[in-house]
Structure 1
């Protein structure tokens, strides 16, 4: 009976109704879904990798633009191919620099370029003394790395020297001679040293006349100045002058003296070998220039323009004095302009 009753009940209920489809989860329910630990860790790793990739891209862009300041092992950095300073680490100022970096760190970064001939190495445009100080202290050097041509490197080198600690006359002369020997044109030399043509001629004339060993023996002599270095350049040409200078440079008292004192000792010794020549006699005043009076005095030569001179002549001559002196010095130093 039970079986018959069950069949009857099924027939009375009709066809079986299909089960309703499961409800789709709402967005809120999806948002509340908690991922497993492995999935969450993978998401964090991907985010970190993306951030590191973006950081690396920014760093690479900054390096290309010369904006990033990096810490570089001093052992991987080579000096500039163009010598400028005669003594970079033998003066009291360098010792003060080392002490300052040791106490407060390196505040101003140096400028490097990727070494053109050695992969993985760098070359200094400027900052040789800070590089030496970092190497001495055993710490990385803070540097900006920028791709530079040879010309851009020496111009940056010269500009930094002029703005931070200017070179002495002989250091500038040696720097100019180094650049000329490397084949740089005069325009690059003028830009690197911010020098006009007549001054560049003097630099090169002095650098050619005085042997490098004598320059190094004397040192930068910052107080000597252009006229005295030019006098020394003339004095070394006398017969036997270099032998006298070499003997002097070997003396312990000479080596112990400051650079400016060493310069004075050499110049005085060479003037004994070749006394200064007497000044040439002034040419006679040409006919028609009777309105200019010339007289020799103990302290020099006096030119006087008389009242009988044509109107405006005095102003005209004064306006030409600088040009005439520059032309005279250029001709005297070798005729280059």
Structure 2
């Protein structure tokens, strides 16, 4: 089957424009080629059984990544279902024909598709023959014309596009990014463990500075995946932006502890352990009461460290599970 080129985004843009969505200020740069001719797409709208539609491509909304559904997410989805129940589906989703005869792939509109599926009604869909790259651009255009992705959602969407095999130039085109803007997103997805991001959620009010600070905290070992997840599990009732703040506070607390004055402990006579931000130092005097122990320690130190490290790894694995 022939796939349409980028110029055929005009039909998709037409559907978005007729739906009443207000574009964001920067959307002109994205949609200008697509808005050149606003005709024809409404003729491609059909009512389709939701069970005939499969998901396609990288997921853009973080609620679809996460296992944590906030009350806000639930209320928003319930409101969407109620709106469709009362007044019908006003804005069609975008689909393309699948390689499997009689089936379709959803490019965008997954929440509307899910709502129609749960309501047991057919979904209004704009059927377009799109290649993969054009489909990604359509998804980016739809996001720009409706509710902008949060900073972290953009970061995860960019990561998903790359994981699907597309180059950095395509990522920047889909999300309307500069090279530096893309670099900022990559720093966050490289620095913040995915499982932690899943538990945080979209954090719509948390922008680049907070997410970059969080990535830096993981890079500096002020936070680990295990310690971050423990904080989040103890605060499940708060929203996603509050979760970011809690982790930043935890990182700050740990950083202050690590940056404090060196502390020294003397467990036995002649043996001391000194801990500072830079190192942990063990000293055993080879004279006096600790002489024999110091000689034994020197002979067995390598084995002691190896066994202690193995025990640490075992404990750390249990914490992460």
Do both proteins adopt the same fold according to a TM-score greater than 0.5, normalized to the shorter chain?
yes
2:104 counterpart (103, 117, 122) = 122
Partner of 2:231 in structure 1? 248
Task: Provide, for residues 118-155 of structure 1, a one-character-per-residue CA deviation record: whole Å limited to 9, x for no partner.
Answer: 33221111111111111121111100111111111111
C-alpha separation between the residues in 1 aligned to 2:258 and 2:83?
50
Aligned length: 212
* CA-CA distance at 1:277 after TM superposition: 11
Partner of 1:271 in structure 2? 252
- Bigger RCO (CA 8 Å, 6+ sep): 2
For the 8 Å contact 1:114–1:146, the answer to whether it is kept is yes
1:200–1:276 Cα change, 3 Å: farther
For the 8 Å contact 1:74–1:141, the answer to whether it is kept is yes
**Alignment RMSD, CA only?**
2.2
For the 8 Å contact 2:96–2:104, the answer to whether it is kept is yes
Tell me, which stretches of 5 or more residues in structure 1 are unaligned?
1-63, 279-337
Matched, 1:216 2:198: yes
C-alpha separation between the residues in 1 aligned to 2:155 and 2:193?
12
1:178–1:95 Cα change, 3 Å: same
TM-score normalised by the chain length of structure 2? 0.62
C-alpha separation between the residues in 1 aligned to 2:173 and 2:112?
24
| Paired residue secondary structure (2:129) | coil
Partner of 1:82 in structure 2? 58
| Structure with max Cα Rg | 1
Partner of 1:286 in structure 2? none
| Paired residue secondary structure (1:187) | helix
* CA-CA distance at 1:275 after TM superposition: 4.7
TM-score normalised by the chain length of structure 1? 0.59
* CA-CA distance at 1:166 after TM superposition: 0.8
1:317-328 to structure 2, matched below 5 A, reads none
* CA-CA distance at 1:232 after TM superposition: 0.5
For the 8 Å contact 1:241–1:270, the answer to whether it is kept is no
Partner of 1:145 in structure 2? 127
| Paired residue secondary structure (1:82) | coil
Matched, 1:135 2:103: no
For the 8 Å contact 1:168–1:221, the answer to whether it is kept is yes
* CA-CA distance at 1:241 after TM superposition: 2.5
Partner of 2:167 in structure 1? 185
Moved over 4 A (4+): 275-278
